């Protein structure tokens, strides 16, 4: 896909094991996303030839990533773990980390996240609904993705 769509960066998720990292790199992914950040998974990420985006849901988990030199993390499950208020509250004490929140994000609430200084982007399954993929309704998916790309704080 990355070769077919100008500006596209191919990634993979959900990565849960060292084997997944190896498979993702072999498949040509440039980054890998995981819902959490276990010690084994972080060790595997350091050995992988692709950028990791490990998930966190607490300040302590964020601090573990900072200790390992991470600058970017997934915040998951965003809405269930405190949402935009949580990310806003850790922006000052943990300015080293920038986030991509996912989990419960909708087009209506995405701007709440996008206005935060520690949020680079948001992710949401509303753009690629399972039923649209099953129906191969690429036009509808393209429309939803284009609308998502226009979201702003």
Domain CATH for 89: 3.20.20.70
Pair 128, 88: CB distance under 8 Å: no
Residue 1: band (very low, low, confident or very high) from pLDDT cuts 50, 70, 90: very low
Which residues partner with 72 through β-bridges?
Answer: 98
End-to-end CA gap in the chain: 29
Instruction: Give the count of alpha carbons within 13 A of 29, CB side only.
Output: 21
Q: Residue 3's pLDDT is what?
A: 58
Q: Residue 4's pLDDT is what?
A: 67
Which residues partner with 56 through β-bridges?
Answer: 75
Domain count of the fold of the chain:
1
In a domain, 49, yes or no: yes
The crossing angle, in degrees rounded to 10, of helices 18-26 and 39-47 is 30
Q: Which of 126, 120, 109, 114 is closest to 152 using CA atoms?
A: 114
Q: Residue 152's pLDDT is what?
A: 81
Q: What is the mean pLDDT of residues 63-85?
A: 97
Task: State pTM to two decimals.
Answer: 0.90
pLDDT digits (tens, 9 = 90+) for 100-146: 999 999 999 999 999 999 999 999 888 888 999 999 999 999 899 88
Joined together, the tokens standing for residue 78 give 């965003």
In a domain, 21, yes or no: yes
In a domain, 153, yes or no: no
In a domain, 149, yes or no: no
């Amino acid at each position: 896909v990355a070769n077919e769509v100008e500006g596209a960066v191919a990634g993979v998720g959900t990565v849960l094991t060292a084997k997944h990292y190896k498979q993702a790199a072999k498949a040509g992914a440039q980054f890998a996303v995981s819902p959490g950040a276990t010690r084994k998974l972080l060790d595997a990420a350091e050995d992988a030839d692709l950028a990791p985006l490990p998930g966190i849901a607490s300040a302590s988990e964020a601090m573990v990533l900072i200790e390992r030199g991470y600058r970017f993390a997934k915040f998951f499950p965003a809405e269930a773990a405190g949402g935009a208020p949580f990310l806003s509250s850790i922006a000052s004490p943990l300015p080293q980390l920038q986030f991509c929140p996912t989990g419960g994000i909708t087009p209506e609430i995405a701007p709440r996240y996008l206005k935060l200084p520690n949020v680079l982007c948001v992710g949401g399954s509303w753009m690629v609904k399972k039923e649209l993929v099953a129906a191969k309704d690429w036009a509808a998916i393209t429309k939803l993705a284009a609308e998502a790309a226009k979201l702003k704080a």
